[in-house]
Amino acid sequence: MSKVIDIEDRLKLELKKKAKVEKAKKLEAVRKTLQCTRCLARCLKCGMQFETHEMYKRYKGPFRLCNSCQEEYDEFVLIKKQGGESPYYWHNKEWLRVWQTWLDYQKALKEFGESPEFLDLVREVEWER
Protein backbone atom coordinates (compact mmCIF):
# COMPACT_ATOMS: atom_id res chain seq x y z
CA MET A 1 0.00 0.00 0.00
CA SER A 2 2.95 2.32 0.52
CA LYS A 3 3.58 2.42 -3.25
CA VAL A 4 0.25 4.13 -4.07
CA ILE A 5 0.83 7.48 -5.76
CA ASP A 6 -1.51 10.37 -5.01
CA ILE A 7 -2.74 11.30 -8.50
CA GLU A 8 -3.92 14.77 -7.48
CA ASP A 9 -0.51 15.79 -6.20
CA ARG A 10 1.07 14.35 -9.32
CA LEU A 11 -1.30 16.36 -11.56
CA LYS A 12 -0.62 19.55 -9.59
CA LEU A 13 3.12 19.00 -9.98
CA GLU A 14 2.76 18.47 -13.73
CA LEU A 15 0.70 21.66 -14.06
CA LYS A 16 3.34 23.59 -12.12
CA LYS A 17 6.06 22.25 -14.42
CA LYS A 18 4.06 23.24 -17.53
CA ALA A 19 3.44 26.72 -16.14
CA LYS A 20 7.15 27.12 -15.42
CA VAL A 21 8.06 26.10 -18.99
CA GLU A 22 5.46 28.51 -20.43
CA LYS A 23 6.78 31.36 -18.31
CA ALA A 24 10.34 30.61 -19.43
CA LYS A 25 9.22 30.70 -23.09
CA LYS A 26 7.49 34.05 -22.55
CA LEU A 27 10.51 35.51 -20.77
CA GLU A 28 12.79 34.34 -23.57
CA ALA A 29 10.54 35.92 -26.22
CA VAL A 30 10.56 39.23 -24.38
CA ARG A 31 14.30 39.08 -23.72
CA LYS A 32 15.18 38.35 -27.34
CA THR A 33 12.95 41.08 -28.68
CA LEU A 34 13.88 43.77 -26.20
CA GLN A 35 17.46 42.92 -25.40
CA CYS A 36 19.06 41.00 -28.24
CA THR A 37 17.58 42.77 -31.24
CA ARG A 38 18.44 46.20 -29.86
CA CYS A 39 21.75 45.43 -28.18
CA LEU A 40 23.74 48.61 -27.51
CA ALA A 41 27.02 46.71 -27.60
CA ARG A 42 26.72 45.50 -31.19
CA CYS A 43 26.21 46.86 -34.69
CA LEU A 44 22.55 46.40 -35.53
CA LYS A 45 23.38 45.22 -39.07
CA CYS A 46 26.43 42.97 -38.84
CA GLY A 47 26.57 42.25 -35.11
CA MET A 48 30.16 43.43 -34.66
CA GLN A 49 30.81 44.27 -31.01
CA PHE A 50 31.55 47.94 -30.32
CA GLU A 51 34.46 49.07 -28.20
CA THR A 52 33.30 50.27 -24.79
CA HIS A 53 33.86 53.95 -25.64
CA GLU A 54 31.81 53.58 -28.85
CA MET A 55 28.77 52.05 -27.13
CA TYR A 56 27.55 55.35 -25.72
CA LYS A 57 28.38 57.78 -28.52
CA ARG A 58 25.60 59.34 -30.55
CA TYR A 59 24.97 57.79 -33.93
CA LYS A 60 23.67 59.66 -36.92
CA GLY A 61 20.57 58.19 -38.42
CA PRO A 62 18.04 55.83 -36.91
CA PHE A 63 20.37 52.84 -36.38
CA ARG A 64 23.44 52.03 -34.28
CA LEU A 65 25.84 50.84 -36.97
CA CYS A 66 29.57 50.24 -37.08
CA ASN A 67 31.59 52.52 -39.37
CA SER A 68 31.54 50.05 -42.25
CA CYS A 69 27.79 49.41 -42.11
CA GLN A 70 27.14 53.14 -41.61
CA GLU A 71 29.06 53.91 -44.81
CA GLU A 72 27.06 51.28 -46.70
CA TYR A 73 23.79 52.55 -45.23
CA ASP A 74 24.66 56.13 -46.21
CA GLU A 75 25.47 54.93 -49.73
CA PHE A 76 22.17 53.01 -49.90
CA VAL A 77 20.18 56.06 -48.75
CA LEU A 78 21.97 58.27 -51.29
CA ILE A 79 21.26 55.86 -54.16
CA LYS A 80 17.60 55.49 -53.12
CA LYS A 81 17.19 59.25 -52.81
CA GLN A 82 19.08 60.43 -55.90
CA GLY A 83 19.09 57.33 -58.05
CA GLY A 84 22.14 56.70 -60.13
CA GLU A 85 24.96 54.27 -59.69
CA SER A 86 27.25 53.52 -56.79
CA PRO A 87 30.98 53.83 -57.41
CA TYR A 88 31.34 50.31 -56.03
CA TYR A 89 30.70 47.49 -58.47
CA TRP A 90 29.27 45.19 -55.78
CA HIS A 91 26.51 47.67 -54.98
CA ASN A 92 24.23 45.99 -57.47
CA LYS A 93 20.45 45.42 -57.43
CA GLU A 94 20.87 42.47 -55.04
CA TRP A 95 22.84 44.68 -52.64
CA LEU A 96 20.04 47.23 -52.78
CA ARG A 97 17.53 44.47 -52.09
CA VAL A 98 19.53 43.24 -49.09
CA TRP A 99 19.48 46.71 -47.55
CA GLN A 100 15.81 47.24 -48.32
CA THR A 101 14.93 43.85 -46.85
CA TRP A 102 16.97 44.65 -43.74
CA LEU A 103 15.15 47.98 -43.36
CA ASP A 104 11.80 46.22 -43.77
CA TYR A 105 12.87 43.73 -41.09
CA GLN A 106 13.83 46.55 -38.71
CA LYS A 107 10.45 48.20 -39.32
CA ALA A 108 8.65 44.90 -38.65
CA LEU A 109 10.62 44.39 -35.41
CA LYS A 110 9.71 47.89 -34.26
CA GLU A 111 6.04 47.36 -35.09
CA PHE A 112 6.03 44.00 -33.31
CA GLY A 113 7.64 45.54 -30.23
CA GLU A 114 4.95 48.21 -30.19
CA SER A 115 2.03 45.87 -30.91
CA PRO A 116 -0.69 45.55 -28.25
CA GLU A 117 -0.14 41.79 -28.05
CA PHE A 118 3.60 42.12 -27.39
CA LEU A 119 2.98 44.85 -24.82
CA ASP A 120 0.46 42.53 -23.15
CA LEU A 121 3.15 39.82 -23.06
CA VAL A 122 5.63 42.23 -21.46
CA ARG A 123 3.05 43.23 -18.84
CA GLU A 124 2.18 39.58 -18.19
CA VAL A 125 5.82 38.66 -17.69
CA GLU A 126 6.34 41.65 -15.39
CA TRP A 127 3.31 40.72 -13.27
CA GLU A 128 4.43 37.10 -12.86
CA ARG A 129 7.70 38.05 -11.20
Q: Can you spell out the DSSP letters for 80-106? A: HHH-S--SSTT--HHHHHHHHHHHHHH
51-76 confidence digits (pLDDT tens):
877 766 777 788 889 889 999 999 99
Residue 23 has pLDDT above 90, yes or no: no
Please compute the mean of the pLDDT values over residues 79-103 and round it to a whole number.
92
CB 65 within 8 Å of CB 43: yes
Task: Please tell me the predicted confidence (pLDDT) of residue 3.
Answer: 65
Task: Please tell me the predicted confidence (pLDDT) of residue 2.
Answer: 57
How far is 17 from 37, CA to CA, in rounded Å?
A: 29
Q: Where are the domains of the chain?
A: 7-127
Nearest CA to 34 among 113, 127, 116, 101? 113
Nearest CA to 65 among 29, 38, 101? 38
- What is the pTM assigned to this prediction? 0.71
